[in-house]
Amino acid sequence: MPRMNGIDATAIIKSRYPETIILGLSVNAGEENQAAMIRAGASALLTKEAAVDQLYDMIHGAVATRP
């Protein structure tokens, strides 16, 4: 992302639109980045490789747990 990273973008989106569900996709989805994305308001962070197999289930899980 040219102007900010996904963590910062997630925090801004959630502050403006708290009802938005955010699922992050990254090539760097290590524990630190996963924790940072969750703190910023994302429902989950997946690797781009895993997304093909897991994205559908993650979307349904995020919607099902929506407050």
pLDDT tens per residue, range 51-63? 677 778 878 888 8
Instruction: Give the single-character DSSP code of 36.
Output: H
Q: How far apart are CA 6 and CA 4, in angstroms?
A: 7
Q: How far apart are CA 13 and CA 2, in angstroms?
A: 16
Position 30, amino acid: G
- 7-46: per-residue pLDDT in tens? 999 999 999 999 999 999 888 888 999 999 999 999 989 8
Region of 47 (left: φ > 0; alpha: ψ -120 to 50; beta: rest) is beta
User: Domain residue spans in the chain?
Assistant: 6-64
Which band of pLDDT confidence, cut at 50, 70 and 90, is reported for residue 50? confident
